[in-house]
């Protein structure tokens, strides 16, 4: 089963500068550290827009996390509903740690 990668974006409240946005993102770390199935989150920021790029163990884990309750929480917190895009991620290459995880190659090796 392939990992999935999700890109989530949402508008920030009007007038939110980078420093304030980054602190809001920091404040949310404990909430996400306890999320079942999430392997990694990279926070995204550009003026007026926040978000995250998430690596998940499975589509099921991602879909469970992006529940109606979560969407309502995000909309209330930031004043804009989140946009969630989920992609299959059969290969993860990480130059920082010198690793490649190729789900299809792992599956073929097991056969």
Q: Please, what are the domains in the chain? A: 3-110 (3.30.70.100)
Instruction: Collect the ranges in the chain with pLDDT lower than 70.
Output: 1, 106-111
Could you read off the pLDDT of 73-93 as tens digits, one per residue?
999 999 999 999 999 988 888
26-60 b/e (C-beta count within 10 Å ≥ 16 → b):
eebeeeeeebebbeebebebeeeebbbebbbeebe
Say what the pTM is.
Answer: 0.82
Q: Are 4 and 64 in contact (CB under 8 A)?
A: no
Residue 52: strand pairing partners: 8, 43
Instruction: Please compute Rg for the chain using Cα positions.
Output: 16
Instruction: Provide the 3-class DSSP secondary structure of residue 13.
Output: coil
């Amino acid at each position: 089963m392939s990992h999935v990668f999700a890109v989530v974006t949402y508008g920030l409240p009007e007038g939110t500068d980078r420093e304030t946005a980054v602190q809001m993102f920091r404040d949310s770390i404990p909430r996400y550290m306890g999320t079942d199935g999430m392997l990694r989150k990279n926070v995204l920021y550009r003026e007026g827009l926040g978000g995250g790029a998430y690596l998940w163990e499975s589509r099921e884990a991602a879909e469970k996390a992006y529940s109606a309750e979560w969407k309502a929480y995000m909309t209330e917190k930031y004043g804009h509903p989140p946009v969630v895009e989920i992609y299959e991620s059969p290969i993860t290459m990480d130059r920082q740690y010198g690793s490649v995880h190729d789900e299809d190659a792992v599956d073929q090796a097991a056969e």
